[in-house]
A and B are shown apart, each in its own frame.
Chain A
Amino acid sequence: MAYSDKVRSTYQTTLKGMQDAGIFKIERYIHSIQDAEIEVEFPPGAPLRKVINICANNYLGLSSHPDIVKAAHEGLDARGYGMSSVRFICGTQDIHKELEKKVTEFLGTEDTILFPSCMDANGGVFEAILTEEDVMISDRLVHASLIDGIRLCKAVQDTYKHSDMEHLEEKLQLHADKRNKLVITDGVFSMDGDVAKLDEMVALCEKYDAMILVDDSHASGFIGKTGRGTHELCNVMGKIDVITTTFGKGLGGASGGCVSGRKELVEMCRQKARPYLFSNTIAPPVVAGVIRVLDILSKTTERRDKLEMNANWWRKNLIEAGFVIQPGDTPIVPVMLFDAKLSQDFARDLFDEGVYAIGFVFPVVPQGKARIRTQISAAHERHHLEKALDAFVKVGKKYGILGKTKNEIMEMYHS
């Protein structure tokens, strides 16, 4: 028996260590569709509770939208359930090409390639387009999937301080001798909700002959005047060489992702990206759903406008209530609690008050920067947000943190 008691014991010890350190993740079981209000079983076996959800990436409220569900049904009927093949053998349907074309038009790029997820897009893109002669210079707060993709690539790796343009410029100078230089950033940073300075970054990239890659997973569909993403917001449409994004958040919420950008880079991914070559692509019903999402978003900005209004209301009212909020202008509104235990206690009490939110602690966020990350949706109606705000205020009063500064909260709570 290969899985001896000794081997089992090593894993049990590791898992116990994670539990003792408070970093053991537990799932909550949702018995309803994904929406502004969900029915949750937590802890396992407990009676179902209807709670307001403020921690989904369902920014545009399309996860369970009747039009999208209908389109997915139609896709299922017309093109079946799965492809049983990777793209280049016999796994490419007309609708995959149709979706690639629509994403290209929506993002304003040259070409697009679908991936099973954006995790896969980020995992495969660097190795496909760079070699050991090149350099990757990434923001120090980029998403874990970009970090994994960077690790898989033989190009030289370097970083710059978060959104620090002077530091980025120093790095571009330091690596001037490299063949190709690629600057890598999130469009919207997922834990802080701040936006990359893409206008300044594009100017630096032009100055030093570098390419730029933006992961716009927390932006596609709703950031910018018509929801095209951070490149629209920063007035650099057509100047981002590679955009990676997901269909698992604002753009329908199911699954799938893509690399969209310069046609040669997209073609390199089609020839070399391993998650594309060795994994089935997005299933037909999901492809049909995302096509409908893009049709809706290309016709009207109603949903992103409502999201913007909701997010502004939520941010303004949390600040007025006396919470410390990470500055920003996106639907990601982090309520800073700083202390890890306080963030967990706060989330538990919010759940008791009928609000579902999660406390994020180290290593997902830096030490001493624990928080409740709230995420607003176009599916939220004002009454949802008012109820959620009441719950935040009630729990905030319980812990005595309203109106307190960062240092005051840190003095009160340090576990």
Chain B
Amino acid sequence: MDEIRDIVLAYVIKEYLEDPDEEIGYDTPLITGGIVDSFSMVSLKRFLENKYKISIPDEKAGPEAFDSVNKITKLVQEFLAK
């Protein structure tokens, strides 16, 4: 789990943070916190699907499920277990 969490965090930092001084953690709100907009979520979803060879249906990939690194990690684990 820790490994997934760190991979997701690294991706979010690289993909979404504009300011190199900005810091985020595992529970930082990404969508409700304005870091990731709904338009940009698609690349995160595609990254997870390609990386972990899973398929996340759109109805499961809502803003709530993608709102923090911990929540995303939980979602990935759920699909890995299937």
Residues of A within 8 A of B (CB): 138, 140, 147, 150, 156-159, 161-162, 171, 174-175, 366
Contact: B18 with A158, CB < 8 Å? no
A-binding segment of B2-10, B37-45, B63-71, B72-80: B37-45
Q: For B18, what are the chain A residues with a Cβ–Cβ distance below 8 Å?
A: 161-162, 366
Given contacts A157-B42, A159-B37, A159-B39, 14 further A-B contacts (CB under 8 A): A138-B39, A140-B37, A140-B40, A150-B39, A157-B39, A158-B40, A158-B42, A159-B40, A159-B43, A161-B18, A162-B18, A171-B43, A174-B46, A174-B47
In the assembled complex, 23 residue pairs joining A and B whose CB atoms fall closer than 8 Å, in A order, are A138-B39, A140-B37, A140-B40, A147-B39, A150-B39, A156-B42, A157-B39, A157-B42, A158-B39, A158-B40, A158-B42, A158-B43, A159-B37, A159-B39, A159-B40, A159-B43, A161-B18, A162-B18, A171-B43, A174-B43, A174-B46, A174-B47, A366-B18
Interface digits, B13-47 against A, CB 8 Å rule (1 contact, 0 not)?
Answer: 00000100000000000000000010110110011
Main secondary structure on B side of the interface with A? helix
Q: For B47, what are the chain A residues with a Cβ–Cβ distance below 8 Å?
A: 174
- Minimal Cβ-Cβ distance residue in B for A170: B43
Q: For B42, what are the chain A residues with a Cβ–Cβ distance below 8 Å?
A: 156-158
A366 to B22, CA, bound (A): 14
Q: For B43, what are the chain A residues with a Cβ–Cβ distance below 8 Å?
A: 158-159, 171, 174
Q: For A157, what are the chain B residues with a Cβ–Cβ distance below 8 Å?
A: 39, 42
- Minimal Cβ-Cβ distance residue in B for A171: B43
A338 to B58, CA, bound (A): 38
Residues of B within 8 A of A (CB): 18, 37, 39-40, 42-43, 46-47
A140 to B18, CA, bound (A): 10
- Minimal Cβ-Cβ distance residue in B for A142: B39
Shortest Cβ distance from residue A165 to the other chain B in the assembled complex, whole angstroms: 16
Shortest Cβ distance from residue A135 to the other chain B in the assembled complex, whole angstroms: 8
Q: For A159, what are the chain B residues with a Cβ–Cβ distance below 8 Å?
A: 37, 39-40, 43
Q: For A138, what are the chain B residues with a Cβ–Cβ distance below 8 Å?
A: 39
A150 to B37, CA, bound (A): 13
Shortest Cβ distance from residue A192 to the other chain B in the assembled complex, whole angstroms: 13
Shortest Cβ distance from residue B75 to the other chain A in the assembled complex, whole angstroms: 19
A171 to B40, CA, bound (A): 11
A175 to B46, CA, bound (A): 9
A156 to B37, CA, bound (A): 14
Shortest Cβ distance from residue B2 to the other chain A in the assembled complex, whole angstroms: 26
- Minimal Cβ-Cβ distance residue in B for A167: B15
- Minimal Cβ-Cβ distance residue in A for B42: A158
Shortest Cβ distance from residue B36 to the other chain A in the assembled complex, whole angstroms: 10
Q: For B37, what are the chain A residues with a Cβ–Cβ distance below 8 Å?
A: 140, 159
A175 to B49, CA, bound (A): 13
A366 to B37, CA, bound (A): 13
- In order of increasing CB-CB distance, the 5 nearest A-B pairs are A159-B40, A157-B39, A158-B42, A159-B39, A158-B43
A159 to B40, CA, bound (A): 5
Q: For A175, what are the chain B residues with a Cβ–Cβ distance below 8 Å?
A: 46
Shortest Cβ distance from residue B23 to the other chain A in the assembled complex, whole angstroms: 15
A348 to B70, CA, bound (A): 45
Shortest Cβ distance from residue B55 to the other chain A in the assembled complex, whole angstroms: 14
- Minimal Cβ-Cβ distance residue in B for A175: B46
Shortest Cβ distance from residue B51 to the other chain A in the assembled complex, whole angstroms: 12
Q: For B46, what are the chain A residues with a Cβ–Cβ distance below 8 Å?
A: 174-175
- Minimal Cβ-Cβ distance residue in A for B43: A158
Shortest Cβ distance from residue A163 to the other chain B in the assembled complex, whole angstroms: 12
Q: For A171, what are the chain B residues with a Cβ–Cβ distance below 8 Å?
A: 43
A150 to B39, CA, bound (A): 9
